Structure 1
Amino acid sequence: MIIKLLEPLVVKKEVIENLSSEIKKLGHEFVYYNTKTTDVEELKERAKDADILMIANNPLPNEVIEVAKNLKMISVAFTGFDHIGTLAKERGIVVCNAAGYANNAVAELVIGLTLDLMRNINKCNSVIRKGGTIAGLIGGEVKGKTIGIVGTGRIGTMTANLFKCMGANLIGYDITENPKAIELGLKYVDIDTLMKTSDIISLHLPLNDSTRGFISKEKLSLMKETSILINCARGAVVDNNALAEILNEEKIAGAGIDVFDMEPPIPSDYPLLNAKNTILTPHVAFASHESMIIRAEIAFDNVNKYLAGTPINVVKL
């Protein structure tokens, strides 16, 4: 079989060579592209003769899948897979993801964004460099606050655990209750109650038809003026125009946002770029040196297991 890694995985070349050695030993051809492209024609050229494709979060549109006539399996070195064209499902192509590789990295960035907003870290940095003082920069503590976890899967539960270690109270919302979250002391409530009572809301929802725009203007309007929203999940689970409006009207205290309605670079007229009391990061929650190695290992393991006839991490498209 011809197996192609269509984009870099942000690890050293030696890591790729080591991880691909098993594929080569079995007599398969492995091709690695160490440059990233979103050009559809270039992607077509790269993918056209592949039996197996490996990607990260680079879009794989239907036009590319269409020309890959031999394509049987896609290994996604990423948790989400909504960037894969619908043709993969229509053709019955097996898709495996790397869920779990960045659990810790994402959870830690949630904490970082929360602390930045609550302790005015960015503002303090700017003020001290301009000769300023503590005036107006008194912050708040996480201890004793109520944390609302929306989506209590592995990342949401790990985030809840970090907040618990800081002395916070935990409530959560999900369509399915997670026993591990309950063990932490998290109490499940309906979404409106969570929005109304949380001091800090952290989103951990996947993006699908039922979650797109789930955090609507109506739900955002339920939040307390002193509360903050953190989104390190998927941008489109929030009505971000409404969020920008509510922030500018100072109806909530702030927001830490790592994900948007599109991948960076973000257009200059995007409302959140100019919203008050925001900390914005360019979709980096998943990206730590440690997590990049873990996801590469999982992505190659997906391929090896598929070749062995025992596929793992298969997702439902």
Structure 2
Amino acid sequence: MRVHILDDYFDTLRQLPSFGRLADHDVTIWTDHVTDPAALAERLRDAEALVLFRERTEVGADLADRLPNLRLVSQRSVYPHVDVEALTRNGVLLCSNLQLDAPSSAAAEHTFALILAAARDLPRQVASARAGTWQAGVGKSLNGRTLGLYGYGRIGRQLAGYGRAFGMRIVWWSSEAGRARAAADGEKVAKSREAFFAESDFVSVHVRLKEATRGIITSDDLQAMRPDATFVNTSRAGLVAPGALLAALEVGRPGTIALDVFDSEPVTDPNDPIVSHPRVIPTPHIGFVTEDELDLQFAGIYDQINAFAVGKPINMINPEVWDGSGR
């Protein structure tokens, strides 16, 4: 099959062991990012299979309707960036292994790195050292401080383990069902939503983005945090209500915000009001970008292509498209 892979910014995938699974296919890798559907359709005009690099490119009707040769879109995890109806209308199968409980430490590790960076004010300290002015203030120890985790899922539980290793107190908030699971597991659940935000030194959100969770973190939530507290989001930008981050920064509650996700990506404007803010620690959506994690994720994506090629597709999201003919 003619396979096109989008948005591999650093041409990483071909260097990983899993890439060998595409040996029987004609593979094209694109390392830049194109947003214009017409330009994207032109470069993908001969593609039979399209591999998506997480949610970096949106596949809407304006693209799907322009790709008459496309038979398969293969990706991993959730797919809010894919117009499944448009793919189905064009006879294109979407395969995606949701891997809801797959072992992965990359996102949890990056989240805790941001917590450490915020606690010790590392960006400012590094800048001060490079400027020749040596130290730039005093940081905070994690031992004895409270880590508030919003969302009782796999990544949150991994973070809880990291926090406990540093001597932190762990407190949870989540949906009613999530809070019940946490309590049943013997975890400490905050007495109220307000108390959760007000009493945590660090709040990190780990919830899947869907219609019910969009904007679930409000301005009131953020502004209930203390001026010496930190809010961390490595999940999805859409979990935070529009305008809530800037409003929180304006009033200084919380005092620090650490982000790996943004409303519109990539962010390339150095004057972006969020990225450029002195009390924001921004990273460019790299929570999952490690060699180990990419090899794990793309091995499954390639397996979906191979299964389709031999007429036995797996992880079908719109199975009504599949009639056994390969089209």
TM-score, normalised by the number of residues in structure 2 = 0.80
Partner SS state of residue 243, structure 1: helix
Q: Which residue of structure 2 lines up, in the alignment, with residue 65 of structure 1? A: 64
**Once the 2 structures are TM-superposed, how far is the Cα of residue 50 of structure 1 from its aligned partner?**
4.8
Q: Which residue of structure 2 lines up, in the alignment, with residue 246 of structure 1? A: 248
Q: Which residue of structure 1 lines up, in the alignment, with residue 224 of structure 2? A: 222
Match runs of 1:4-23 below 5 Å? 4-8=4-8, 10-13=12-15, 15=17, 17-21=19-23
The 1-side partners of 2:140 and 2:37 are apart by: 48
Match runs of 1:162-177 below 5 Å? 162-175=162-175, 176-177=177-178
Counterpart selection for 1:312 from 307, 311, 315: 315
Partner SS state of residue 243, structure 2: helix
Q: Which moved more, 1:152-161 or 1:65-74?
A: 65-74
Q: Which moved more, 1:289-298 or 1:65-74?
A: 65-74
Residue 255, structure 1, aligned to residue 292, structure 2: no
Q: Which residue of structure 1 lines up, in the alignment, with residue 129 of structure 2? A: 128
The 1-side partners of 2:283 and 2:130 are apart by: 22
Q: Which residue of structure 2 lines up, in the alignment, with residue 32 of structure 1? A: 28
Flag structure 1 segments of 5+ consecutive residues without an equivalent: none
**Once the 2 structures are TM-superposed, how far is the Cα of residue 17 of structure 1 from its aligned partner?**
4.9
Q: Which residue of structure 2 lines up, in the alignment, with residue 200 of structure 1? A: 202
Partner SS state of residue 196, structure 2: helix
Decide whether the 8 Å contact of 1:58 with 1:83 is kept in 2: yes
**Once the 2 structures are TM-superposed, how far is the Cα of residue 88 of structure 1 from its aligned partner?**
4.4
Partner SS state of residue 63, structure 2: helix
**Once the 2 structures are TM-superposed, how far is the Cα of residue 62 of structure 1 from its aligned partner?**
1.6
The 2-side partners of 1:121 and 1:4 are apart by: 39
The 2-side partners of 1:11 and 1:34 are apart by: 11
Counterpart selection for 1:84 from 82, 86, 89: 82
Partner SS state of residue 273, structure 1: coil
- Alignment coverage as a number of residue pairs: 308
Q: Mark the CA change 1:55 to 1:221 in structure 2 (over 3 Å): closer, same or farther.
A: same
The 2-side partners of 1:16 and 1:41 are apart by: 31
The 2-side partners of 1:133 and 1:2 are apart by: 55
Q: Mark the CA change 1:253 to 1:102 in structure 2 (over 3 Å): closer, same or farther.
A: farther
Query: What's the CA shift string for 1:104-141, capped at 9, x where partnerless?
Result: 1111111111111111222222223334354x622112
Partner SS state of residue 274, structure 2: helix
The 2-side partners of 1:315 and 1:225 are apart by: 47
Flag structure 2 segments of 5+ consecutive residues without an equivalent: 320-327
